[in-house]
Amino acid sequence: MNHSANMHLRAPLPADLIDAVRAFTRGDIDAAIVLGSGLGGFAETVEIIDERATEDFPGYPASTIAGHDGRLLVAHAQGKRLLLFQGRVHGYEGYGPAMTALPARLAAALGAGLLIVTNAAGGLDPSFDAGDLMLISDLLVLPAARGMGAELQDFGTDAQPLTRPLFDPLLLDTARRAAADAGIPLREGTYGFCSGPTYETRAEIAFFRLAGVHAAGMSTAPEIISASRAALPVLAVSCITNVARTVRQAVTHEEVTRVAAQASDDLARFVHALLRRI
């Protein structure tokens, strides 16, 4: 792993990285979309203009996790020009928040009008089913979560103080309407961030439930917070890949990516309906 890519938090994004991605997109981006674990299939439903491995961009961190292909794609869909991040990096891979929030920071630097973030998450609400989609309407980040807190709050000159809600109520309503357009049942709730790489412990599950968390995962929160600080509108959706209904359970990454892939058709229909509305 190239730990040198984990840049100092106070430094702005490297100019050569921004320039390389801007040259790759060759024009303005209407929306950027982060495709999480097993959800990269959305790329098969759009017109691909160009694609490139993230390793081809200077200083871009390398993903080490199955289900995260590590590719950037420029695409057209619903009359919009898109930048797709097919996979992401996580804090448990050894990267700090400057890297785990990189898609949001790049989208903001490129002038995107919207960031859509997706992930695979464990459901904590007993009414959820594996394969459900959940619109994230709030976050819970534990103070001790690695790479969060004060670390995520200081990116230097390319971020603004977080003085606005993380999620625009009108944008959330647009997402609800898009789900109705697509005929997709859309859950809604709070996403709890865990550092990983282990799945949530029984104690964490109990605590999160007590705190009102509906789904938990190991990504997305850095991107949401960074986008909000950059005044970049953001929507986030979790694919519920497993549901903690019993005290003892076993969850594997293979199961998570398999269920996410099965739900990718619903996610694609939802995102296309959303793009038509923005």
DSSP string, 42-86: GGGGSEEEEEEEGGGSTTPPPP-STT---EEEEEEETTEEEEEEE
Q: Which of 90, 178, 191, 199 is catalytic?
A: 90
pLDDT tens profile 9-46? 445 788 999 999 999 999 899 999 999 876 778 999 99
How would residue 5 be classed by pLDDT, with cut points 50, 70 and 90? very low
- The token duo for 202 is 């029984």
Domains plus CATH for the chain? 3-277 (3.40.50.1580)
Q: Is position 37 annotated as part of the catalytic site?
A: yes
Q: Is the predicted pLDDT of residue 249 greater than 60, yes or no?
A: no
Looking at residue 10, what is its pLDDT? 47
Q: Which of 120, 221, 268, 273 is catalytic?
A: 120
pLDDT tens profile 137-160? 999 987 666 656 555 555 544 445
Region 82-109: mean pLDDT is: 89
- Looking from the CA of 247 toward its CB, the CA atoms found within 13 Å total 0
Q: Average pLDDT, whole number, for the chain?
A: 84
Residue 141 pairs in a beta bridge with 193
- The token duo for 272 is 């296309």
Q: Is 122 helix (H, G, I), strand (E, B) or coil?
A: strand
Q: Is position 68 annotated as part of the catalytic site?
A: yes
Looking at residue 17, what is its pLDDT? 95
Q: Is the predicted pLDDT of residue 173 greater than 60, yes or no?
A: yes
Q: pTM of the entire structure?
A: 0.87
Q: Which of 37, 137, 238, 264 is catalytic?
A: 37
pLDDT tens profile 214-241? 999 989 999 998 898 889 999 999 999 8
Q: Is position 219 annotated as part of the catalytic site?
A: yes
- The token duo for 166 is 């993380």
